[in-house]
Every structure is written in structure tokens, then in C-alpha cells.
Amino acid sequence: MFEKILIANRGEIACRVIRTARRMGIKTVAVYSDADRNALHVEMADEAVHIGAAPSAQSYLLIDRIVDACRKTGAQAVHPGYGFLSEKREFQEALAAAGIAFIGPDAHAIQAMGDKIESKKLAKQAGVSTVPGYLGVIADDGEAVTIARDIGYPVMIKASAGGGGKGMRVAWNDEEAREGFRSAQNEARSSFADDRVFVEKYIQQPRHIEIQVLADGQGTCLYLGERECSIQRRHQKVIEEAPSPFLDAATRKAMGEQAVALANAVQYKSAGTVEFIVDAERNFYFLEMNTRLQVEHPVTELITGLDLVEQMIRVAAGQKLTIRQEDVRLHGWAVEARVYAEDPFRNFLPSTGRLTHYRPPAADPHVRVDTGVFEGGEISMYYDPMIAKLCTWGSTRDAAIGRMREALDQYYIRGVSHNIPFLASLMANQRFVDGRLTTNFIAEEYPSGFHASDLPPEDPAVLIAVAAVIHRSHNDRDIQISGKMPGSKVKVRDDWVVVLDGTAHPVHLHPADGSPQRIGYAVDIEGRHHTVWSDWQLGEPLFRGTVNGEHVCVQIDRVGIGYRLHHGGAQAVVKVLTPKAAKLDALMPVKAPPDMSKFLLSPMPGLLVSLAVTEGQEVKAGEVLAVVEAMKMENILRAAQDGTVAKIHAAPGGSLAVDQKIVEFA
């Protein structure tokens, strides 16, 4: 077994590998860029080596820097994580030439499966079902249109070297095929330095289901069940679960055996994933093979009891697998939600900045949090804005979903925007609960984007009762202030008005008898009786307790004289006032926001790649105005209505902040 390994990655996956290595008694080496000097993975590792500037092309993607770090520290092996160099054949070859083990497959398997065109040809030869399409390299957008017509719309345009949703477009007509080809090619060139693009039939009502394989390169190759990854946004997975609520035992076995056949065809060793697209009749077609650990691997670990990172390390050290296919058993259900620093209410724009407060749910056998951030740390503009992977396990799918809802309520993040409201909405969506999933789920359930109205309806009495108890607790503390005049007495009133999102609710509350916890109140809200019990203490950001016997977790922020409460993905601004103050509050004027309708604003922090208009130019609704690149994704900004350009406020090549002015209209 290795004595020391280097992790050629950052963030949560680097921390996750370090945890397993530490448990195995293996020392670890972290690498870091300028932006990650104080990152969690650097602190967790036994050693750390600086490898370059913040952009990944100047640090984490430099093979020679990683190899040199191995030499300096004496690392005998490298775990690449996912992304960056994890599927670069040249990286494995460079390590092999330096006598350093690669904790992953050999170069020939990486090369064979890393090219989407070649991998489909190999899959056909191995007897694996594949999607109809044109696997040749396409020269230009005109040829792309011709091929798309031959296959029949809709088609999927993909970068051959793509991954992570980059370089992918769905086209329903000639115009979309032309534009999709150009955008996919540009993204592929920017992200992978390889602009080859191919076209295949787009399967409608599809599910994305993948098979986890594990091989030792010594004759044993296993499949470890499947993961359902159909909940995606812009081809990026959002929710994953294992097993799939759709597969039956026969389909699972058939998919698993085809995945193993493909792995054997390339003499695969280590952990890998074979991705399939599955139609409504359970027909399945090969998409691609990821020759690395997947982001969503924890759900497989939770239902199989296996540590995939440990198995990868053991295989790389030359050890045989000690389990057989008949030993693989799937226990219970696991769900993973990807928590991102992005604003779901602003079309999921990335959010960067400092995590001023960060408190994940407490880990236990049913809740797992894989993260690479900490309170006070930065979410950098240079890398993927993932905060954590939140995973829950249950004996049934409903139990796992229920635990996920509770865990999301407990996840306290401040300083950056995050997608927890959206994740909470997904968990409560009846179609999701029923397991009626396709890769079009988000587009169909949230056709105009995500809005507060998409959150599950909540009984406002829960937040009203909690707000009243919180405020009463503050008042109970305030009357105990020292230094009062002799004989002075202050009685805390029992009657209040809770103003929730502008609506006033009269409330009467008094201490409840026989409370089993530190706080106990009987709360009457407009004639309805509620009992609130909790161990909450002043200053705590999470109110955990029960309302009428039902467990609740409400996040609390003090805002001026009121509170901002978060529960079930929703947030509400609450003020608890005396009846007289509530009457006066209702008379207060509301300040209207400034009118910005005459401006094209940058929807995200990013780079202004191009500007398609000039001052004085007339534009029509739908016309392209500018292209902004963020997180290596091109975002086309179009005119919302007809108008005339009055002034240009930004130049191509410049960096943009959120809501920065780009174009002003007359």
C-alpha cells in the first residue's frame, strides 16, 4: 500500500479523498493555486504545494507542476478526483513515466472512452446499445444542418471531448442547429482545447441513468447498481439518487452487464461510470463512459456500504477486489442534492464572495455532507461554485426524501446566494416524489425559471408562532436587565401583532404548562391554538423545536426591528409589534425600486465576450445584443423589446459585475 498520495484537485473532492486516505493510514499532499492558499483541502492535508496562479489553466491543469510536486514530496501515487486532469491521457502517461501510480484507469482506457465519437464506436463493437447519430467530425454549421435534417429533429449537438454540460445544445430546427453548432464548438474550444462536434438523435422524455463499475484489471469487473441523474438543469445534474425509481431488476441487470462488457473491452481498472439514456419503455442507449470518480458517487456508497475511493486506491496499489458480483447488495435509498453558490431567483446566476456564516446539517448515519468550504472562506470566481454535496439515506425513497427536506432546512449559509430554496422546491414537488422523472423535468416544471411562487405552500401559522415565541423570548430576557430602579416592574405583554409579508396577524401567547423543553408557549393565532416547544437559545441561527408536535427547523436572521425566517426553502420578513405599533406600521410608505427597464444589465459576474450593437442602432425583440462568458459557459443576451441603443456602457473583453450596465436604450 502507498505511504503517501497527492490529490491533484481542490474543493470537496480533495477533502473527500483526504478523509479516506487518512482512515487508511496514508499521508496526503494537497496542491493549491493562489486563490486556494487558505482552502480547506490545504489545511486538511499533511503537506501542501503551491502550483500556480488562480486560473485553472495556470495551476490545476498544468501536468508538469503536478508531477514536480510529487517528486518534491515523495508522493507515490496521485488521485485526480474529477474534472481538471482526471480524464487526460497525457496526465496518466506523464505520471507513469515518472514512476508515479495513477489512481484511476490506464491511458488507453482514458483515451478510448474520453472521445465521445470513438467511445460510441467501441460500444457498438462491444454489443452495447447506442443512440442513432452521425459520429463523424462536422466541418461547419452548414454540414451540421444537413446532418441534423438526415437524422431528423430534434437532435443533440455535442462536443466530442465534452463533459459537465459544456459544449452541448439541443436543436429543433435549422436555425437552432446552426447557432447550437457554433456555440458548442466555441465552448468546446474554450473548455477542452478541442472543437470537434458531433450530432445524434435527441431522445424525447429521456431519463439519465448511469451504472457504477469497479474493476481491478486482474479479471474482476463489477457493476454496483445504478444512479438516477435525470434532474438536470442545462445538462448539469442537480439531484441524484440510487437506486432509480424506474428500473426493474431485469433492466438493471441488462444495463449492468452491458456496462461491464464495455469496461472489459478497454481492459478497464478502477472505478468508472457508464452513462445511459433510457426512454419511457425502458429501452436504454449508451451515452458515454466517465473514466473517473463521479460527483454523485456518495449515493452508491450509501446503498452498497463500499468506499469507492478506498477501492480505487487499493486497485491502483495492485490489490485484487475482494468482492464478487453476487456480494453486491443494495440497501435502502440515497438522495444527493448539489448545493451551489448561485441565485435561483435570478436564473441561477453564480454567486461569489465570502461565506460569512456557514453551518451544515450535523452528519449522522443518515446525513452526509461532502464539502470543501468553511465559515469565512471564499467562493471564488475561478472555479465551479459548488458549496457541498448533501446526501441523505433512508430505508425507503420517501424516508430519504423526508430526511433531505429536514437537512435542507438545517443548512445555514450566509454571505453568498445559494440554491437551497430550489432544492427544497424539488424535494416537495409531487412529480418528483412520485418518481416521474425525465431530463426535461426542470424545464417542464419550471418553464419560466424559478420563482418564490414555486415553493411549496406553507401554513403561515408555523412561522407566525415561531416568530412570536422568538420575540417573546427576547422580551423575557430584556426585562431581566440589571441596574433597574428599586421597585420598578416590567410586565411582558401577552398580546402582539405578527406582521408576516405585510399581513397583520393578532397573536396571544403565554407560557405552556409541563413543557419538556427549555421553552414552551401556548400561542393563539386568530382563534387557532398552537403549542410551541424548543431548546432554542437567544442568538442561535436555527430554531429547532415542535409546533403542535410536528418537528420544525426555522432559520433566523435579525433584520432591523424584525426577523427574516427561512423554512421549507421559503423566506419571510416578520415583525412582531404591539397592536398600536402595528397600526402605525401599516401607514408607513413603501419605497419603490428604481426603474432599470431601459438598461441591459449583466445578469452575472463574467467576461463580456462580444457586443453586437452600436450607439444609435435600432434593435428588434429577440435580437442578440451581447455574449457574456461565466464559468466557461457562453450566455447570449437578447433584446426584450424593440428599441434604439442610446449608449454603450461596457467594452468587449471587460469584466462585468452582477447588474452592471452594458447597454442603455433611448
- Maximum Cα–Cα distance for the chain, whole Å? 93
CA distances from 338 to 203, 229, 328, 387 (A): 25, 12, 26, 8
CA–CA gap between residue 15 and residue 638 (Å, rounded): 41
First to last CA, the chain: 70
Distance, in Å, from the CA atom of 565 to the CA atom of 497, rounded to the nearest integer, reads 16
Question: Looking at this protein, which amino acid is placed at residue 40?
Answer: L
Q: Report the alpha-carbon distance of residue 3 to residue 26 in Å, rounded.
A: 5
CB neighbours of residue 481 within 10 Å: 8
- Helix H segments across 162-296? 174-192, 249-265
Of 226, 240, 275, 288, the catalytic one is: 288
Determine the distance from the C-alpha atom of residue 650 to the mean position of all C-alpha atoms in its chain, rounded to a whole number.
31
Q: How far apart are CA 50 and CA 59, in angstroms?
A: 9
Q: Phi and psi for 313 in degrees, rounded to 5?
A: -65, -45
Torsion of CA 12, 13, 16, 20, to 10 degrees: -170
Distance, in Å, from the CA atom of 96 to the CA atom of 316, rounded to the nearest integer, reads 12
CA distances from 288 to 117, 158, 162, 199, 285 (A): 9, 12, 10, 14, 10
User: How would you class 192 by CB atoms within 10 Å of its CB: exposed for 0-12, middle for 13-18, buried for 19 or more?
Assistant: buried
Asked whether the beta carbons of 564 and 571 are under 8 A apart, the reply is yes
DSSP label of 432 = H
**Dist. CA 135–CA 503, nearest whole Å:** 60
Q: Tell me, yes or no, if 445 is annotated catalytic.
A: no
At residue 619, what is the residue type?
V
SS3 track for 492-545: CCCEEEEEECCEEEEEEEEECCCCCCCEEEEEEECCEEEEEEECCCCCCCEEEE
CA 252/CA 257 separation, integer angstroms: 9
CA separation for the pair 554, 568 (Å, rounded): 8
CA distance 431 to 218: 44
Residue type at 558 in one-letter notation: R
State the catalytic residues: 288
